[in-house]
Structure 1
Amino acid sequence: MKPMTAKELEYIADSMSNEELLIKQCTALAVTGTTPALQNLSLQFLQTHQNHYDSLLHAIQHHQQMAPTQPQQ
């Protein structure tokens, strides 16, 4: 497996930002939801987006282990 390209890393960083926003929105809905069903659904979505974020973070961490420490020629 080769290290990720700068474009791939940029895409992952953007995806992580999107997931963070969705996590915040789901958290807000879980706290302010007007019915238990809505609160439960938002908590399920929250867990899904947290899992997505964690997967993306793992990909970045894995890349750090593979990435060259010196500029490539």
Structure 2
Amino acid sequence: MDATPQDIQESIEQLVAYRDRLRQDVIAMGQKLKLPQAKIDRTLADHPELTRLEEVLGQLQSQLSQPQG
């Protein structure tokens, strides 16, 4: 079953919302723990789930930009 462009776009929107919430949660926890901003930034950059989300989003956006056949 192939996903329609609308399905892909909806998935992208949901993943972006989840990614943004996760980023905010990491930032809030770091601030609550009074971590230096550099440490929070490193945590965000190295966070495995955020990294995977970025990969999946890139794949979906690439798929969305490909002509439908």
So what's the TM-score if we normalise by structure 1? 0.55
Q: Identity rate of aligned residues, in percent? A: 11
1:67 aligned counterpart, secondary structure:
coil
Q: Is the 8 A contact 2:19 2:53 kept in 1?
A: yes
Q: Is the 8 A contact 2:19 2:50 kept in 1?
A: yes
Q: C-alpha root-mean-square deviation of aligned residues, in Å?
A: 3.1
- 2:13 aligned partner: 13
Any residues of structure 2 matched to 1:1-73 within 5 Å, and which? 4-5=3-4, 6-33=6-33, 43=43, 47-68=47-68
Q: Is the 8 A contact 2:8 2:60 kept in 1?
A: no
Give the 4+ runs in structure 1 shifted more than 2 A: none
Q: What is the distance in 2 between the residues matched to 1:27 and 1:66?
A: 35
Amino acid in structure 1 at the alignment position of 2:31? V
So what's the TM-score if we normalise by structure 2? 0.57
Which of these two proteins has the greater Rg computed from alpha carbons? Answer: 1
**1:58 offset after TM fit, Å?**
0.8
